[in-house]
Amino acid sequence: MKKLVLKLLVFVAILASLLVYFDSFFIENDNSSVSSYRTVYEEEKESVSLVFLGNSHQGKGLDTNIINAKCETNSIKINGGGINIAQIYYNLLETLKYQSPQIVAIETWALIDKGVRYNKIIDSSGNLMASPYKMEYNKRFGKAKYKEIASIYPKSKLFHMFNAFRFHENWQDTEKWSKSLYSKFTYSASERSLDKKINWHLSFDRVKKYNEKTFSTEGMELTAYEEKYINKIIDLSNSNGFKILFYSVPVYRPFYNKTKEGFDVVHKEIKRISKNHKNVDFFDLNSLTTGFDYTCMMNEKVSDNQHVNYKGQIKTSALLANYLNNNYSLELKGVFQNNFLNTPENLIYNTDKVKQEEDFIGSVNKINGQFYNDIKGDKVITIPKHIMTINLEGWMHKNDISSSIGDKIVAFKKNNNFVYVVREDQLRERKAPMLVKKYGEDFENGGYELKLSKKLLETGSYSIFHIIRDKNKKYHMKNTYKRIIIE
Amino acid sequence: MLFNSLDFAIFFPIVFVLYWLVSRNLTLRNVLILVASYTFYGWWDWRFLFLIAVSTLVDFYVGKQMYKTEEKRKRKQLLLVSLLVNLGFLVYFKYTNFFIESFVDSFRLFGNELEVSTLNIILPVGISFYTFQTLSYTIDIYRKQLKPTHDVIAFSAFVSFFPQLVAGPIERASHLLPQFYKTYIFNYKLVKSGLLLMAFGLFKKMVIADRAALYVNQVYNNVDDYGGVGYIYATVLFAFQIYCDFSGYSDIAIGLGRTMGFDLMKNFDSPYISKSLTEFWRRWHISLSTWFRDYLYIPLGGNKKGKIRTYANIFIVFVVSGLWHGAAMTFLIWGAIHGIILMIEKGTFTIRKKLFNKLGLQKSNLSNHLFFGFIIFTIVCFAWVFFRANSLSDSFQIINGFFNGVNLGDVFNKNTYLIGFKPNEFKIITIAILLLFMFEYLHRTYNVIKFLNNQATIFRWSFYLSIVLTIIVFGIYGDRNIQEFIYFQF
């Protein structure tokens, strides 16, 4: 019998190892929430100084590339749609297994948002009310995952502990599954977590609806249940030696004005907690900015919940980075697994430190039909107030890089507080026969065109930069020395 | 407790380890089996444990008293006590409402409406199985084919033996009871083959039966929403569902017994490859078929009292078998269909034999196997309609759909073959069924387990892991709910 028991134990151990190994194959890897979480595992151990935790407001509202570039540090953000402070606590618990951050920044929307899942957290049966985005499944098999699973599904822990059990039917939707697997094997988690659908601003129709809508502040409070989990996070901060920074991503200004009373109730409590604990700090971007205007918000349905677009993300990240630089001395703890220095943002925000590459050539030809070549002196094109769209045509080429349109980036830099990086999927291919004629076949894919709503940029003067990505995913930058003025 | 539940996954290893720790002490071992069996049953509803206990004690006492006396009248009286108690429980819990409804319906036929409501009676799980098992004990003693046991613990363990308590195989006391007097030495190979059989049973249940149930339930519970092709697919899938569900249970039961050193009787033997209905019943639910043969067909006279009585006996046995399965007209008709076809088969045996000989259809070759196999499978499927349908009117609607509602355009229509299924499930169930039949076909001529045992460890372990992983990935559980075994309701 000993032989059988021993063999069975070995068998169960192999089976469990296989289930644990294949755990991440069963979750939707192309989902930005999942990916945001998995960044924890992709970074080198003990290489992160700054951890951002929150829900979708943070997910859409913060660009860690900007934070990293401006603060010269390593940061990761972990967010899941609709998660509450208890889930944020469990996310932190898991993160601390891999990282020893200096600062843990927690976005406050999870505390401000109303509803029983946020305010009460635990249901009448004593179970944790988790968000429908299933953050608990993104964690690796271990103690933190077990604790969270046990608090959400106390009666079926084993089933929920292994994704191979919980999502065993994923294979049925082969299209979805293969998309997830493709994403897992092709992109890093931080690449996957980039939300590319954020370059739209709130439409006038929705602006009108927002302005007409009334919002209730009932339930916008910091309950004892929420404070219990804040205290748990503070305990972790004491035992692990990190500081806690509560911060808020700005909401839409009319909403903020209509519900300021509710925000104040919660913020007052956070300030009280911050006063009582030397480890806790609070940076309220909502009161600082009084919310963002419609050009910084995504074109989403009218509800209490709004997300900022890329423009809002740039402004939030810059403000937060400035606050961090002014109040903390952040370390560069190690090298990012994804090479944090190798981001378009790092090149653009630190142009003075980047060496210009001679073989990276290109030009911005024209904007809204006006050629730069026709302009004498300072190469500046002005977009007047009444023009709403920027149509830009140009080309770029770097020797030995046969780049496709997906590898090209254009950036507009106003100053280090506002740099708009036009992501790969916003540029379109443009046939440039003249280039081929002049430089040869290698330049066939050099041309690009870009159509951008002017409202996504702030008013002011911008330098235009070209960025290209080579086959090793390394970015190269070139100043075009062309400028644009947004009136 | 369900075999395909987490509760059982915890229960079984504990019982298994304890069992082999005390296996040398016979009394202690049987006490452990008894406690484990009562726990297993009580997990579902402890209140009905008293039925098993009463049934056990009555038959234990009756058996002993019957053996003591040679007086025929007294022996008959004692047998009657056993029959009354056991069948009394069965009739009360299973058939009371059926009788009330039939009574009301028959009055309605004559234009009289009776205001009688049915009773709220819960059917104890497995009552039809353990009742028949314990009855075989007293009947065998009455026939002087068996000596009674004086060990109440062993007898109680025999009646309530948890591997086969709720859905068989229905064991005979002469086969199973003596096994409770033997001590077993741990046999690694036997235990391993038992575990493999359990895994195979779980595969049948979770991958095939419960997946087929998604389609079948959707069609049979919403008959008005579907047409002829949907009915055909659902009925064929039900044929596989019930086979994999029930034979899967039997495999787990036999495997479980084997891990503890017990040998339980074979209950299924690839029934869907039968070339006649007679053969089908030699291969389907063997323990019940032989029970009815020994304790009903033969006492009725079997085939010894002329042709007419033989046919009548066959018909009676199958109608009773239908009612044993469920207290409803649909089950009765299901049994009657089988009875009638068997009567025809028996009556035309000589003519058919001559005809088939002339046509060359008697030879045992693949084409004949397929030809007759297809015919028998079609007949069995036709009868399954009554077995599965929720009412008689549903059954007739489905059968009408077979003949009048088939739209050939639906055969390859996604909306038809994916009813109740998520994308790709139809492919998976088709592949799984084909694999199952390939395995069963191979296993009839070649011992697959022996073949496996002769392979290198890495190959064997990969195979075992593949089975478990297949069940984990392709099994139906979790959100889509664990399905009870169909035969639990009987």
With an 8 Å Cβ cutoff, is B469 touching chain A? yes
Taking only the tens place, the pLDDT of each residue in B446-462 is 887 788 888 898 998 99
Higher-pLDDT residue of B178 and A183 is B178
**Amino acid residing at A233:** I
| Domain extent listing, chain A | 22-327, 347-486
Q: Out of 2.60.40, 2.60.120, 1.10.8, 3.90.550, select the CATH number for domain A347-486.
A: 2.60.40
What pLDDT digit, counting tens, does each position of A61-83 carry? 999 989 999 998 888 899 888 88
CATH of A22-327, one of 3.40.50.1110, 3.40.50.360, 3.40.50.150, 3.40.50.720: 3.40.50.1110
pTM: 0.78
Nearest to A24 by CA among A147, A198, A167, A157: A167
Nearest one of B433, B115, B381 to B247, comparing CA atoms: B433
H/E element holding A480? strand A475-486
pLDDT digits (tens, 9 = 90+) for B346-368: 888 888 888 888 877 766 777 77
pLDDT, greater one: B256 or A427: B256
Query: Residue A337's pLDDT is what?
Result: 44
Q: What is the pLDDT of residue B365?
A: 73
Give the per-residue pLDDT at B34. Answer: 95
Q: Of A325, A342, A478, A316, whose CA–CA distance to A413 is shortest?
A: A478
- CA closest to A158 among chain B residues: B6
Phi, psi for A198 (deg, rounded to 5): -115, 10
The residue that leads in pLDDT, A124 or B103, is A124
Q: Supply the DSSP string of A289-350, one letter for each residue.
A: HTSB-GGGB----SSS---B-HHHHHHHHHHHHHHHHHH------S--TT-TTSSHHHHHHT
Q: Which chain A residues are closer than 8 Å to B482 by Cβ?
A: none
**What percent of chain B has a predicted confidence (pLDDT) above 70?**
95
In sequence order, what are the beta bridge partners of A128? A122
Catalytic positions of B, please? 325
> Cβ contacts (< 8 Å) between B469 and chain A: which residues?
15, 18
**pLDDT tier at A195, thresholds 50, 70, 90:** low
Equal fold, A22-327 vs A347-486: no
**B426 contacts on A by Cβ (under 8 Å):** none
How big is the CA angle at B481 (ends B478 and B487), to the nearest 5 degrees? 130
Report the candidate in A48, A49, A112 with the shortest Cα–Cα distance to residue A328.
A49
| Residue A438 CB neighbour total at 10 angstroms | 9
> Does residue A184 register a pLDDT over 90?
no
Please check the confidence at residue B396 and state whether its pLDDT lies above 90: yes
Q: What is the dihedral of CA B155, B157, B160, B164, to 10 degrees?
A: -110
A14-23, A44-53, A395-404, B98-107, range with the lowest pLDDT = B98-107
Q: B211 to chain A: nearest residue by CA?
A: A169
In the sheet that A418-422 helps form, which strands lie side by side, from edge to edge?
Answer: A380-383, A475-486, A460-469, A408-415, A418-422
In sequence order, the 6+-apart residues with CB closer than 8 A to the CB of B464 are: A11, B196, B199
B473 to A173: CB separation less than 8 angstroms, yes or no: no
Mean pLDDT of A124-138: 82
* Averaged confidence pLDDT in chain B: 87
Helices (H), A113-252: 116-119, 143-152, 157-161, 163-166, 174-186, 189-192, 204-212, 224-240
B192 at interface of A, judged by CB pairs closer than 8 A: yes
Confidence of residue B12 (pLDDT cuts 50, 70, 90): very high
Task: Nearest by CB to B472, from A4, A14, A168: name it.
Answer: A168
On whether the CB atoms of residues B75 and B144 are closer than 8 A, the answer is no
Tell me the torsion sign for CA atoms A163, A164, A169, A174: positive
Is residue A415 classed as helix, strand or coil in its secondary structure?
strand
Residue A209 neighbours by CB distance under 10 Å? 13
pLDDT of residue B282: 93
Q: Does A158 touch chain B (CB under 8 A)?
A: yes
Strand partners, A252: A292
pLDDT for the residue B480: 58
The residue extents of the domains of chain B are 6-186, 190-286+316-489
Specify which residues A483 forms β-bridges with: A380, A463
pLDDT digits (tens, 9 = 90+) for A204-259: 888 988 888 888 888 899 999 999 999 999 999 999 999 999 999 999 999 999 99
pLDDT tens per residue, range A79-128: 888 889 999 999 999 999 999 999 999 999 999 998 888 888 888 888 88
Cα–Cα separations (whole angstroms), residue B85 to A4, B78, B91, B124: 44, 11, 10, 15
The residue whose two tokens read 């499930």 is: B425
**Nearest residue, CB atoms, A164 vs list B422, B472, B480:** B472
